[in-house]
Chains A and B, each alone.
Chain A
Amino acid sequence: MAKQLLQFTDNGIFCAEGNFYIDPWKPVDDAVLTHAHADHARTGSKRYLAHDLSREILKYRLGADISLQTIPYGETVYKNGVQISLFPAGHIIGSAQIRVEYKGEVWVVSGDYKVEDDGISTPFEPVRCHHFISECTFGMPVYQWKPQQLIFNEINRWWEKNIEEGKATIIAGYSLGKAQRILCNLDLSLGTVFTHGVIENTNDALRRNGIDLPKTVRITPEIPKEEIKKGIVLLPPSAVGSNWMRKLAPFEFGFCSGWMNVRGAKKRRAADRGFVLSDHADWDGLISAIDATGCESVYLTHGYTATFSRYLREIGFDAHEVHTLYGDDEDSSIPEGEKSLIPNPSPEEKGEKAETHNEKTGVKEASLPERQALSPGEDLGEA
């Protein structure tokens, strides 16, 4: 059997013809990135290629001095004669599916994606290909999402009720992606949006990248608590339960994640409210996305890979499970031993890794020390 155009190696997804990696988890010479979340964009590689809208956030997270080339969706770059182009994945701002073509054979790496238009990320676009490498974080039929407008109606009503009752409103979601999605869909006539430092730094990076985000106010010790009570506070999951959060009491705390769809996970999270809002495709979304590629074979990288690939085979796809270090799905959490192989994660990345962990398991954040919630310089002191 001839060598595949894209292979799964110990370093990540590798294209031998083009001599580059996609979302490698070890340092390499050339890394093509789907998006800037910490499990996909890691430090230490010599050169990076990513989407234009990931530029500032990647510099912020991986270091201002990284060698980074960015391109818009649809534009083609050649590496050793292999064509590389990016297509919208709808996961977060700047997230891309990576299309790789060589001698007429086309592979697409989805990274993380969702099919619903969230109003802020460029909406997902199916790309025809021979081989599709897909995530399946929520590859179980019990995960079906309601349209986001219904969820945001719930969130806005909840916020309004908290204002009436004189309680602060705290809502937790990933600092990159979920936080901006929430921000852009809130009913801003209700009050001010306050942010935790980790989120505000992310917002700043996105604004530097030309993204027009609604106004947010970084919480500082000078802001009176009474003001904060009338607004809504965006919090990264890693800061849930921290002193920083406790100082905002009395509050109502809502958590946004796809895992909130199941009662058990919701109860473990011990949030006052669990909102089912995910940046990943649901069961139907995954199947329709895979179907739309017209692919001959599909490789599942992370999520409920065993279940989902078995189902896909039963309905006629040539589906394979592959082992990667993306996300923290049912079986592929990053083993302790392998973590040390990831060189010098930046302080920011440490914080984000905690988040990655959170979103995907819906539970383990409780064991993380508070300190990890904030990167040096992010600690807001007495806020």
Chain B
Amino acid sequence: MKHFAALFAALDETNKTNEKVNAIKAYFLTVNDSDKMHMLALFTGRKPRRHINSTLVKNWAIELANIPVWLFEESYQVVGDLAETISLLLPINTKSSDKSLTEWIAEINHLNKLDETERKIWLTESWASLSRQECFVFNKLLTSSFRVGVSQNLVVKALAEISKLDAATLTHRIMGNWDPEVYTFEQLMEEQGALDDLSRPYPFFLAYPIQETSERQKSPEEMQTALGNADEWQAEWKWDGIRAQIIHRKGEIFIWSRGEDLATDKFPELHPFIQALPDGTVLDGELLTFKDELPLPFSLLQTRIGRKNLTKKILEENPVAFIAYDCLEFAGEDIRSKTQTERRVILEQLQRDTSFSTIFRVSPIINFNSWEELAEIRKQSREMVSEGIMLKRKNATYQVGRKRGDWWKWKIDPLSVDAVMIYAQKGHGRRADLYTDYTFAVWDGDRLVPFAKAYSGLTDQEIGKVDSFVKRNTLEKFGPVRTVKPELVFEIGFEGINKSSRHKSGIALRFPRILRWRHDKKMEEADTLESLKSLL
């Protein structure tokens, strides 16, 4: 745990990529193989299961810190992280634990065999044996809230530098459903890749955005300069659903979402078509709900995602289909190194052979002869219920992660509205103890009606200014929320708008974020609810 806590601190303390990679390498070179795999699991989002209720953890911490509950809550507001709050409130001690990360995780996993009294004793003793930094990391593991501000790419980079394997191979090998208790470091490092895990997906290839703003659109000439001739590119609509990979290997089927969540059970209507694919097939595509040949808005799909039980009604009202983009594995062979065009041929063949053609679709190719023409076509994106256009270089391989060069997304402008900030709340993590989470309102007659919350979009400097505005212009406090004097106007961008019975305003926005601070506008000039509703 010493090394793991030190690694965490080292990563926290530097902003330099190289130093982060060095810290991870140093960790790998110091600890035993089992600790390496546990670290890898944690750093790639494979959290240990929670065996203890975090309310209990909190209550015992309050007891040990000897403070009232409200003071704990206010401390949490200042710190913005439960695990850290507890580590700061417990009495300072100068001890440090010699137990390894593996041993600590084993103890945490053993917790479900203890009764509440035993758990409390174990936790009290554990806390007393850990330094503050160790205690913080331990709490993160315990409450299953482990998140580290290091991308998987950096971990893979470090791993590649200490091994003989390249980053793409390693990225692939740490995907899917593996357990650090079973998957060994030796297996991970084997020279001949053992693709023994049938469920293992490939890393997704992600498109890079073509940067433009509402005032500054890319001209056909600029597209020509940046991307070359139009005939070197394949264009498709950019669908707004759930990016997914579907796998059929040796009679077993798997559906993976981009967040590396196994979602096979969530989409039963897809199972027959996946089963019917030839053995050894992996497809990349988008899950969407369809009606009359057009996708339905994402919000309808969203209502399905969170459900534990998929009722007959939900399945009937929001039937999901798979729009395939690409074929990554065919006849058991990894075909990612073939060109886009070659893979497309295979994909279309697979689709022609299916008897489930309403559920298994292929994302249609947009025919265009020039960038000018494509720019015109892009204007129809909203009617197509798409977010814009995807561009894929015809002779490109299928790569790993977000890479500049061969895949581009050319999105249409977000919708936007000018709104007044009326509530503010403190943020978490890097934004702890700063007012960074705002609620915005538009005019309904002479009243301001809240309609959206947004957290992102301002620079650190702007956040500093808004924070000091909030502190000086608080009208009322409701727990952590402050009512702020309505004055500041922001342009809020969003991807979609829907009717909502749960919101006072009667509307709900999809992915609202702050586009910019409108210093030039007075609050009277903010938009009206009526104008927002006209977008419905």
Question: For the complex, is A220 an interface residue (Cβ under 8 Å from B)?
Answer: no
Contact across chains for B434 and A363 when beta carbons are under 8 A apart? yes
Cα A330 to Cα B12 in complex, Å, equals 25
Question: For the complex, is B67 an interface residue (Cβ under 8 Å from A)?
Answer: yes
Within 8 Å by CB of A274, from B13, B71, B460, B472, lies B13
Q: Point out the residues of chain B lying under 8 angstroms from A330, CB to CB.
A: 471
- Which residues of A in the span 137-188 have a Cβ within 8 Å of any Cβ on B? 140-144, 146, 150
Contact across chains for A367 and B79 when beta carbons are under 8 A apart? no
A334-365 vs B, Cβ < 8 Å mask (1 yes, 0 no): 01000000000000000000000000000110
Question: For the complex, is B431 an interface residue (Cβ under 8 Å from A)?
Answer: yes
Q: Point out the residues of chain A lying under 8 angstroms from B429, CB to CB.
A: 263-264, 267
Contact across chains for A142 and B461 when beta carbons are under 8 A apart? no
Cα A363 to Cα B75 in complex, Å, equals 19
Question: For the complex, is A273 an interface residue (Cβ under 8 Å from B)?
Answer: yes
Question: For the complex, is B231 an interface residue (Cβ under 8 Å from A)?
Answer: no
Contact across chains for B88 and A142 when beta carbons are under 8 A apart? yes
B443-468 vs A, Cβ < 8 Å mask (1 yes, 0 no): 00000000000000000110011001
- Which residues of B in the span 5-45 have a Cβ within 8 Å of any Cβ on A? 12-15
The interface size of chain A toward B, counting residues with CB under 8 Å, comes to 33
Question: For the complex, is B210 an interface residue (Cβ under 8 Å from A)?
Answer: no
- Which residues of B in the span 113-146 have a Cβ within 8 Å of any Cβ on A? 136
Contact across chains for B88 and A366 when beta carbons are under 8 A apart? no
Contact across chains for A264 and B80 when beta carbons are under 8 A apart? yes
Cα A274 to Cα B94 in complex, Å, equals 19
Count CB-based A-B contacts (< 8 Å).
87
Contact across chains for A146 and B84 when beta carbons are under 8 A apart? no
Within 8 Å by CB of B464, from A265, A267, A272, A367, lies A367
Asked whether A333 and B472 contact (CB < 8 A) given A142-B88, A363-B434, the answer is yes
Q: Point out the residues of chain B lying under 8 angstroms from A140, CB to CB.
A: 74-75, 78
Question: For the complex, is A242 an interface residue (Cβ under 8 Å from B)?
Answer: no
B54-92 vs A, Cβ < 8 Å mask (1 yes, 0 no): 000000000001011011001100111100110011001
The interface size of chain B toward A, counting residues with CB under 8 Å, comes to 37
Q: Point out the residues of chain A lying under 8 angstroms from B15, CB to CB.
A: 270
- Which residues of A in the span 110-147 have a Cβ within 8 Å of any Cβ on B? 140-144, 146
Within 8 Å by CB of B71, from A262, A270, A272, A307, lies A307
- Which residues of A in the span 225-283 have a Cβ within 8 Å of any Cβ on B? 261-268, 270-274
Give chain B nearest CB distance to A74 CB in angstroms: 34
Q: Point out the residues of chain A lying under 8 angstroms from B431, CB to CB.
A: 264, 268
Nearest residue (CB) in A for B428 is A264
Contact across chains for B79 and A363 when beta carbons are under 8 A apart? no
Question: For the complex, is A75 an interface residue (Cβ under 8 Å from B)?
Answer: no
A306-325 vs B, Cβ < 8 Å mask (1 yes, 0 no): 01001100100000000000
Q: Point out the residues of chain A lying under 8 angstroms from B430, CB to CB.
A: 264, 267-268
Contact across chains for A142 and B12 when beta carbons are under 8 A apart? no
Contact across chains for B433 and A265 when beta carbons are under 8 A apart? yes
Within 8 Å by CB of B74, from A146, A265, A307, A367, lies A307
Contact across chains for B14 and A272 when beta carbons are under 8 A apart? yes
Give chain B nearest CB distance to A171 CB in angstroms: 14
Q: Point out the residues of chain B lying under 8 angstroms from A304, CB to CB.
A: 78
Asked whether A364 and B464 contact (CB < 8 A) given A261-B88, A314-B68, the answer is yes
- Which residues of B in the span 409-438 have a Cβ within 8 Å of any Cβ on A? 428-434
Asked whether A262 and B468 contact (CB < 8 A) given A270-B15, A307-B71, the answer is no
Cα A270 to Cα B16 in complex, Å, equals 10
Q: Point out the residues of chain A lying under 8 angstroms from B68, CB to CB.
A: 311, 314
Q: Point out the residues of chain B lying under 8 angstroms from A17, CB to CB.
A: none
Nearest residue (CB) in A for B430 is A267
11 CB-based A-B contacts, threshold 8 Å: A141-B67, A262-B432, A263-B81, A264-B429, A266-B13, A268-B430, A304-B78, A307-B71, A310-B70, A366-B464, A367-B465
